Structure 1
Amino acid sequence: MRVRRRKGAKEHLESNPQYVILKPEEVKGHWQEVFGNDHPIHIEVGSGKGRFITGMAAKNPQINYIGIDIQVSVLSHALDKVLDSQLPNVKLMLADGSSLTHYFADSEVERLYLNFSDPWPKRRHEKRRLTYKSFLDTYKKILPEKGEIHFKTDNRGLFEYSLASFSQYGMILEQVWLDLHASDYENNVMTEYEEKFSQKGQVIYRVEARFKR
């Protein structure tokens, strides 16, 4: 997600340490202590403006959620939603999806969400796609045995690429939706982009894939 630079975004994040983990490398292996309970942890890599992560947290108070984004301005908008919701089971952190092992111990995260990731359509940018094999290596380390990745996109090319990437990595495709909003799936929480795209008639693709260690 690309957004206009937001004045004061960095200061906004720094002034809310109750929700924004400013030094996540220092809590690696201790995230349950951060939340103050032993509930499972789900993370969203590329949290955008926070609609999905706050929506999931509201629906599932028995799960702890962490929204991750690399852009300061984007994360500051997500913080606005978290502050509005006052949900105790949401945290945010500024980080790159390729560096997750710096912040999470082996098997510390139960599930990972990738929603409307940048498709990086040019072949020379393949390694930047969040479903490229090097990213899968990272996800596998922080997820438990049979840990799941839930992936949504409106980009058919990225979806087809990701299905192939998951399969070639040896993952199991548990469920695949070729038109999510036309299906009977009842637990969908939309992102800001998803609502915008679907209102224009854009098909939304979704897959649940798991590692088979």
Structure 2
Amino acid sequence: MRLRNRPWAKPLIEENPQYVVTEPEKLRGKWQERFGNENPIFIEIGMGKGRFIIEMAKKHPENNYIGLEIQTVAVGMALKKQLEAKLPNLQLVSANGAGLQEFFEENEVQGVFLNFSDPWPKKRQEKRRLTYKTFLEQYKYVMKEDGHLEFKTDNRGLFEYSLASMNNFGMIFDQVWLDLHDTPDVEDNVMTEYEEKFSKKGQPIFKLEAHF
């Protein structure tokens, strides 16, 4: 969803280079140096306003987290949260997530999160879906051999498409949920803004965990 313009967002990002990376290609292969440790790195592609990636960073200080987002306003909103939390294991990236291989070296990432991605429902938009084969190729490249991918959505059509796309790519499914919030696993679940909104309306949340 396209957010309304916020004039303060870009200046705020420019004022806080310690938390927001605007040229991630310069850190390719050097992300652990950026964090100052050798902890595993997990990335969220399309972090939106940042609720999920910030909560994950709080919950798991033993890991490093990177949230990528193309919308400057959304990055600004996530940055506001990070300025309050000041999490040392979180970095925000203001860039297009389609360039992962330019931002990360091979096997540099432990895991990838895809949360409530744009479904791009029209057939001609298929290549834009974050579970299309060209994106899966990038995830496979940047992730370690024992890495995993997690995908959540409220869109049944996109979920069914993603299952088929990943299966055709040769991915192995660790677990599949057709209604995450109606299972005991929801107790350990970290929600996004969209997830809370949709689940409160009683809409099923679909989730899968898979690896290459």
Same fold, judged at TM 0.5 (above): yes
Q: CA deviation at 1:56?
A: 0.3
1:57 matched residue in structure 2: 57
Structure 1 unaligned spans of 5+? none
2:190 counterpart of 1:197: no
Q: CA deviation at 1:95?
A: 1.6
CA–CA separation in structure 2 for the residues paired with 1:7 and 1:102? 29
Q: CA deviation at 1:147?
A: 2.2
How many residue pairs end up in the alignment? 211
1:105 matched residue in structure 2: 105
CA–CA separation in structure 1 for the residues paired with 2:19 and 2:28? 16
The two structures, once aligned, show a CA RMSD in angstroms of 0.8
Any conservation in 1 of the 2:22–2:95 contact (CA below 8 Å)?
no
Any conservation in 2 of the 1:131–1:166 contact (CA below 8 Å)?
yes
The letter of the residue matching 1:191 is T
The letter of the residue matching 1:78 is A
| Equivalences for residues 1-213 of structure 1 within 5 A | 1-185=1-185, 186-211=187-212
Q: CA deviation at 1:81?
A: 1.1
Any conservation in 2 of the 1:97–1:130 contact (CA below 8 Å)?
no
CA–CA separation in structure 2 for the residues paired with 1:123 and 1:48? 24
Q: CA deviation at 1:26?
A: 0.9
Structure 2 unaligned spans of 5+? none
Does the residue aligned with 2:108 lie in a helix, a strand or coil?
A: coil
Compute the TM-score of the two structures, normalised by the length of structure 2.
Answer: 0.97
Any conservation in 2 of the 1:57–1:90 contact (CA below 8 Å)?
yes
Q: CA deviation at 1:12?
A: 1.0
CA–CA separation in structure 2 for the residues paired with 1:10 and 1:3? 14
CA–CA separation in structure 2 for the residues paired with 1:101 and 1:197? 32
CA–CA separation in structure 1 for the residues paired with 2:72 and 2:123? 27
Any conservation in 2 of the 1:118–1:129 contact (CA below 8 Å)?
yes
Any conservation in 1 of the 2:111–2:149 contact (CA below 8 Å)?
yes
Q: CA deviation at 1:52?
A: 0.2
List, as ranges, runs of 4+ consecutive aligned residues in structure 1 with deviation greater than 6 Å. Answer: none
CA–CA separation in structure 2 for the residues paired with 1:6 and 1:170? 42
CA–CA separation in structure 2 for the residues paired with 1:27 and 1:119? 30
Does the residue aligned with 1:148 lie in a helix, a strand or coil?
A: strand
Any conservation in 2 of the 1:177–1:205 contact (CA below 8 Å)?
yes
Q: CA deviation at 1:10?
A: 1.2
Any conservation in 2 of the 1:120–1:128 contact (CA below 8 Å)?
yes
Does the residue aligned with 1:62 lie in a helix, a strand or coil?
A: coil
Does the residue aligned with 1:147 lie in a helix, a strand or coil?
A: strand
Compute the TM-score of the two structures, normalised by the length of structure 1.
Answer: 0.97
Moved more, 42-51 or 143-152: 143-152
